[in-house]
Structures are given as structure tokens and as C-alpha cells.
Chain A
Amino acid sequence: MILLSCSSNHCSLSSNVMASAAAPSTILKSSSIFPHLGWGRRRRSCNLPSINRGVSKSTVAYYGLRSPPYKLDALEPYMSQKTLEVHWGAHHRNYVEALNKQLEKNDILYGCTLDELIRLTYNNGNPLPEFNNAAQVWNHDFFWESMQPGGGEMPKLGLLEQIEKDFGSFDNFKDKFIEAALTSFGSGWVWLVLKREKRCLAIVKTSNAINPLVWNDIPIISLDLWEHAYYLDYKNDRAKYVNTYMNHLVSWNAAAARMARAQAFVNLGEPKIPVA
């Protein structure tokens, strides 16, 4: 997800989005320059205080389609370029466009970060229509970043220690993760999360678009179990897909970075009580 913000006469855009467009120095009112961004008429801003809206009153910023951190053929032969082209280029893109279309009509939801939007539209279990699209945009961003070329193998250092602490051993964790993936019914996701309250890692299954953000847990890696994620490459053989993911795709580097950030919010250490 990229959130573009406009303040005064200067638009700041992240480098991902810039790949295909020239840097604007004036406020743009035309939707033809950023067709995938949907600039349109501005309405009242979101009440959440986090973003400085600036003085511009005639443009709005929507969400963008973020590219995976590798070329579309980089995960071959484990996940084909064709799959990436359809999964990212069509499914993920459609979620972004559908979300932006919904947001065009809804003042109250405008201006949130994607995380905030997901929590808001989840509406404590009675999701609003925007939830599905918002969550799936986030889910797919997170999923691409949970994989890397030359992935698999094992985590190291602190992350490995935490896994061993919470699952007994890495092999036990791997077995449990695969088992969760193979006993999931219908469309959904499997996650390794850091649970905030319990301060431990856990494996979580979710269905359709739901993700652990709605329970305020911190996702570490995810696996897409919707059939579209694997059908072109593996057809009905979900077991082969899941094993391939664990052995060749999962990015423990990304997981380690997410764990490091998570520890700003969750104290995993033992309290060091000084002995008098």
C-alpha cells in the first residue's frame, strides 16, 4: 500500500509509485496522469489525527498497487511468472481499484492508513463493504514480501530462538504450519503471528480476507491458500504448494525484520529482576 498525501502545493510520492509517472510539482486534477491512482474531487477529511491534510481542497489521494520486491519471474520455478502476472497483475490490482472506487463515495473512511482502514472497516466482526478489499490489498502486499527468490531454509539468531521457545523446535513449527495449511477449508490464509497479549509466536488460520491485524496481533509471515494462489502451478495439489513455500519461497529475512519491529511493541525478554 502507498498512501499519497498532498500538503500545500507539493505532492510527495513514494518511489514505488514514481516508477511509472513523472514527479508532479503542482496539484493534479486530471485522472489521466495517474490512472491507477484515481485523483478526484476532495471531500471532508478523516477525523483520525495522524495526517496533516494541508491546504489543498480539490484533490484526494487513494491507495496504490505496490509491486512485489522482486521481478515477476524471480520466484520460478516454485511460483511461475504466469501466476505472479495473474495473481498480482489482476487479482491484487482489482482489489486496489475496487477499494479506491468504494472510497470515492465514503467521506468518513477517507485519509486512513491501510492498517487503520482495515481495523475500522472490520467493525468488530461486522465488516463494512470496504473491509474485503482493504484487507486483501494489505494481505497481498504482505504476502509478496513474505517470499523471496532463494527463500526457504531456516531462520537464524533471535527469530530461531523465539520459534524454538514457542514451538519446541523449528521442525515442529514447520510441521504445525503445514498441517494448518492443509486443514484449512475454503479460501483463506495461514499466518505466523506474534501475539501481543501472550507475548509468544503462534500459527493462525483465517478465512477469506481476515487477517491478524483485526485482533491486534503482529503478522510475521503469511501463506495465501486461496486456490488462485497455486492452481496454475500446482492444480489441486495444495500439499506440494505448501511444502514448496516452506522449502523454497518463505523469506526468513522479511520475518526477522518484522520481528525486530514487533519488539518495539512487545517485550519478549524475561524481566531482569536484580538480586539485592
Chain B
Amino acid sequence: MDLTKNLTLPELPYGYEALEPAISGEIMRLHHQKHHQAYVTNFNKALHQLSAAVADGDTSAVVMLQSSLKFNGGGHINHSIFWKNLAPVSEGGGVPPKGRLGSAIDEQFGSLEALIQKMNTHGAALQGSGWVWLALDKESKRISVETTANQDPIVTKGPTLVALLSIDVWEHAYYLQYKNVRPDYLKNIWNVMNWNYASAVYDKECPN
């Protein structure tokens, strides 16, 4: 990785209003253009500082930069995945998974409803800021529901984990529309969940 090269804000694969009414255009605009952009900007800044510190051999500075790198880098990683996890209804958002991922869910969770229930319960119970994930263990091929705090990426829960789906439960992800009623946000987001992405990742990591 070239520490002096700037990362950029990825484009949204759909318009800002495309996920309504599940997620409002106002939220999508702020979330993408302000929050995600801030993570990118600050991550670039930290990377530049890291590059300088490494060049100077300044170990203390390198260590001090770790929390900013983790937070902003994690924020960039997580949101980049998140935009792909969502899709407008017109492009298949909310359509349940068929194929092998669907079977795996039925086998490991009993039913899609049970999985959604579990993810929503974890999401509602998460204190403070964080994410809920549907994760795939690349080694064991098992899928699981995980949560991470703040902007910790899924790999912090296991180095062989990869994200199939994610839900951002930071308040900025839903507050303007749902206020404190996080459970309503969690219920509605499934209407725009992009199971195509999840199936594609699953099929790639679990070839027949």
C-alpha cells in the first residue's frame, strides 16, 4: 500500500433518494457526502502522518496514530461495504436470497425470518455506536451474526471473517428519520437489503 496515495470516496451505486422510504434521501446524502467523506479525508491524513513517522523512525508517533487509523480506516471500509449491501427495490433490494446462501441460512438459522430476527435483536441491543454483520468464515464456511463497536471492521471479530451483509447502527444512519426508534429502522432496512451482493460473496468464497 502506497501510504502517500490518497483514497477516494466511492460513488454510491444508486441515487440518494433510491432507498426511500426505508432510508430517506436526506440521510443518504449526509451519510455519504459528510460522514463517509470525513472518514476518507481523515484516513488519508493519518496515512500521510504514518508515512512521515515511519520515514523518521518515530515509533511513538506510529503507535499514537493507530487509533485514528483504526477508526477512520474502519469507517471507510465499513461504509464502502454498506453502500453495496443496499439496493433500491427496483434493482432487487429486499428480494430474499435463493441459491446456496438461502439454503445455508435455512440450515444454520432455521429460516430467513429467524436470521432477520436475530440480527435485529443484536442491532437493537448494541449500546452506543457500531455495526451488525452477517459474516462468513472463509475457513469453516459457517455464517454467523456478529456485532462490532464504533468503526471496527468485521475482521476484528476473526481474521477469516468476510462480510455478507452489514447494518450501520450508528445514530447518524437513522436518526433524522427514525429518531430514537432504532427497531423501526432495523425492520425497514430489510426492504432494501441487497441479497445479490451477499450471495455473490458467498458463492465466491464457498465454491462447490
* Chain A interface (Cβ < 8 Å from any Cβ of B): 86, 90-91, 94, 132, 185-188, 207-209, 226-228, 231-232, 235-236
Contact = CB atoms under 8 A, between A and B. Distances in A.
B128 A226 contact: yes
A236 B34 contact: yes
A232 B128 CA distance: 17
Interface string B92-114: 00000000000000000000000
Contact of A208 (B128, B172, B179): B128
A258 to B, nearest CB: 26
A232 B179 CA distance: 9
A228 B180 contact: yes
In the A-B complex, the 10 residue pairs with the closest CB atoms: A227-B171, A187-B128, A186-B150, A208-B128, A236-B34, A186-B129, A90-B180, A231-B175, A185-B71, A187-B129
Interface string B35-73: 100100000000000000000000000000001000100
B180 A91 contact: yes
Contacts of A208: 127-128
Nearest to B179: A86
Nearest to A86: B179
A231 B172 contact: yes
Nearest to A185: B71
A103 B156 CA distance: 34
Contacts of B120: none
Contacts of A187: 128-129, 171
B83 interface: no
B92 to A, nearest CB: 30
Nearest to B175: A231
B197 interface: no
Contacts of B179: 86, 90, 228, 232
Contacts of B115: none
Given A86-B180, A91-B180, A94-B180, A227 B127 contact: no
Nearest to B172: A227
